[in-house]
C-alpha cells in the first residue's frame, strides 16, 4: 500500500500558522463547530494524521471517540498556544485503563 | 445450574466434549495473545508518555518563539510570509501486524530535501525570530509524526486488548463452566440409566427364575401324584 496521505493541523490561527511553513495542511478553526466540520471533511478526504489543539479537543470528546478505533485518521492532540491542558496525557491514561481495567502506571 | 435444554444422549456428550476441548484450547491461545499484547502495549505506552512530554515541551517553545515573531511583525506580514508554503509533505502509510492488530507506520517524503530550504518567504521583510521558530518547528515535526504513529498504535492495541480480555473472561467464567456442567449432567444421567437398566435386568431374571421354579415344583408335584 503506497497511497499518499495528507497531514493536517486543526486549531486556532496562531497555533497552526507555523505548520503551514512545513507544508502541512492547516485548517484554522476558532470554534469547536468549525473544527468538527473540518475534521469530518479531512477524515473523508485522504488525511492520515490530524493534529488538533487541546483547546478545541476539550469541546469535542465525541469526535475523538468516534475516530479512536478507526485506522485512519489518527487524531493526535497537541498543545495550542495557550499551553498544555494535559488532555493528551489524560487520553493515554484512558487507553491504559481501557486495556488493563485499572490504572497501573 | 445445568443447562436444561441439553439432551442426555451419548451423541450429545461426544459433541460437548469436543466443544469443550476446542474452548479450552481457544482460551489458552487467547490468554497468551492477551498477555503478549499487554506486554507490547505497555512498552508502547511508556514510549508515548516520554515522547509526548518531550514534544509538548518543545512545541511550547516553538509557540513562544512564534509569539515573539508575531510581536515583531504585523499580523498581515506574518500571514503573508506563511501564505504559500514552499515545502510540502507527503505521507505514506504502511501497516505492521502486531499480534493481529494492524498498527500504522508513517513515512513521509518532503518536496525539498534540505532542512534549510523550507522558508517560504524572502528574508528581507521578516524578522529573524520567525526563521528560528520555523526551524524549531521543523525539528519537532519528526518527533510529532513518530508520536502520531505510536499513539495511534497504542489506541488500537488498547481496543484489541479490551476485546481479547472480554473473550478470555467469557470463556473462562461462563462458557467453559457451562459446558463442564452439561457434561457432568449427561454423564450422571447416562450412569443413572445404566443402573436402572441393570436393576431392571436383575428383576426380570428374578421373575424368570421364580417362574421356572414354580413350574418345576408343579411338575414335581404332578409326578409325585402320579406315582402315588
Tell whether the model's pLDDT for residue A1 goes beyond 50: no
Go through chain B and tell me how many residues it has.
228
**Per-residue pLDDT tens listing for chain B (228 residues):** 555 678 888 999 999 999 999 999 999 999 999 999 999 998 998 999 899 888 888 888 888 887 887 777 777 777 776 666 666 677 777 888 877 788 888 777 766 666 656 666 666 666 677 777 777 777 888 888 888 888 888 888 888 899 999 999 999 999 999 999 999 999 999 999 999 999 999 999 999 999 999 999 999 999 998 887
Tell me what ipTM this predicted complex has. 0.84
- Predicted local confidence at residue B171, as pLDDT: 94
Please answer yes or no on whether A19 and B137 come within 8 Å at the CB atom: yes
Question: What one-character-per-residue DSSP string does B87-113 give?
Answer: --EEEEEEEEEETTEEEEEEEEEESS-
Name the DSSP letter for residue B117: G
Contacts of A18 in chain B (CB under 8 A): 62, 66, 82, 133-134, 137
Query: A49 and A8 in contact (C-beta within 8 Å)?
Result: yes
Contacts of B102 in chain A (CB under 8 A): 71
This prediction's pTM: 0.78
Nearest to B52 among A7, A72, A92 (CB): A92
- Predicted local confidence at residue A105, as pLDDT: 58
Nearest to B162 among A18, A76, A98 (CB): A98
| Non-local CB neighbours of B56 within 8 Å, separated by 6+ positions | A78, A79, A84, A88
Give CATH superfamily name and number for A6-100. Answer: ATPase, V1 complex, subunit F (3.40.50.10580)
Taking the alpha carbons of A94, B148, B118, A56 in that order, is the dihedral positive or negative?
A: negative
SS3 of residue B59 by DSSP = helix
Instruction: Tell which wins on pLDDT, B207 or A70.
Output: B207
Dig out the grid coordinates for B68 from the structure.
515573539
Q: Annotate B123-147 with b (16+ C-beta within 10 A) or e (fewer).
A: eeebbebbbebbbbbbebbeebbeb
Find residues 94-123 of chain B whose CB sits inside 8 Å of chain A: 94-95, 102, 104, 106, 108, 110-111, 118-120
Nearest to A88 among B52, B70, B108 (CB): B52
Domain ranges in chain B are 10-172
Long-range contacts, stretch B165-172, CB < 8 angstroms, 24+ apart: B165/A99, B165/A101, B165/B34, B167/B30, B168/B27, B168/B30, B168/B31, B168/B34, B171/B23, B171/B26, B171/B27, B171/B30, B172/B27
CATH class, B10-172 region? mainly alpha
Contacts of A14 in chain B (CB under 8 A): 66-67, 70
- Predicted local confidence at residue B29, as pLDDT: 94
Nearest to B60 among A72, A83, A105 (CB): A83
- How large is the greatest C-alpha to C-alpha distance in chain A, in angstroms? 42
Find residues 27-46 of chain B whose CB sits inside 8 Å of chain A: 38, 41-42, 45-46
**CA nearest to B87 within chain A:** A23
Name the DSSP letter for residue A69: T
Whether residue A51 lies within 8 A of chain B, CB to CB, comes out as: yes
Amino acid at each position: 500500500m503506497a497511497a499518499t496521505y495528507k497531514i493536517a493541523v486543526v486549531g486556532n490561527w496562531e497555533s497552526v500558522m507555523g505548520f503551514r511553513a512545513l507544508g502541512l495542511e492547516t485548517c484554522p478553526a476558532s470554534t469547536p463547530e468549525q473544527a468538527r466540520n473540518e475534521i469530518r471533511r479531512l477524515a473523508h478526504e485522504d488525511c492520515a494524521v490530524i493534529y488538533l489543539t487541546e483547546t478545541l479537543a476539550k469541546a469535542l470528546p465525541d469526535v475523538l471517540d468516534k475516530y479512536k478505533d478507526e485506522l485512519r485518521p489518527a487524531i493526535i492532540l497537541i498543545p495550542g498556544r495557550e499551553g498544555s491542558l494535559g488532555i493528551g496525557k489524560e487520553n493515554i491514561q484512558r487507553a491504559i485503563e481501557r486495556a488493563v481495567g485499572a490504572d497501573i502506571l | 445450574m445445568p443447562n436444561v435444554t441439553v439432551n442426555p444422549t451419548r451423541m450429545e456428550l461426544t459433541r460437548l466434549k469436543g466443544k469443550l476441548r476446542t474452548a479450552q484450547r481457544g482460551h489458552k491461545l487467547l490468554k497468551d495473545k492477551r498477555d503478549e499484547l499487554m506486554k507490547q502495549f505497555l512498552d508502547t505506552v511508556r514510549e508515548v508518555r516520554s515522547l509526548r512530554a518531550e514534544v509538548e515541551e518543545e512545541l511550547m517553545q516553538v509557540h513562544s518563539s512564534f509569539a515573539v515573531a508575531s510581536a515583531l511583525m504585523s499580523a498581515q506580514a506574518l500571514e503573508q510570509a506563511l501564505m504559500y508554503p514552499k515545502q510540502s509533505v507527503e505521507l505514506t502509510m504502511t501497516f505492521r501486524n502486531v499480534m493481529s492488530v494492524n498498527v500504522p507506520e508513517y513515512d513521509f517524503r518532503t518536496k525539498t530535501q534540505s532542512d534549510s530550504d523550507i522558508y517560504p518567504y524572502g528574508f528581507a521583510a521578516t524578522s529573524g525570530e520567525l526563521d528560528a521558530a520555523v526551524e524549531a518547528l521543523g525539528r519537532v515535526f519528526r518527533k510529532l509524526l513518530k508520536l502520531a504513529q505510536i499513539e495511534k498504535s497504542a489506541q488500537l492495541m488498547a481496543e484489541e486488548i479490551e476485546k481479547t480480555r472480554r473473550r478470555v473472561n467469557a470463556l473462562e467464567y461462563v462458557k467453559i463452566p457451562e459446558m463442564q456442567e452439561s457434561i457432568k449432567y449427561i454423564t450422571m444421567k447416562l450412569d443413572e440409566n445404566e443402573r436402572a437398566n441393570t436393576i431392571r435386568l436383575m428383576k426380570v431374571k428374578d421373575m424368570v427364575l421364580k417362574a421356572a421354579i414354580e413350574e418345576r415344583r408343579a411338575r414335581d408335584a404332578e409326578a409325585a401324584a402320579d406315582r402315588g
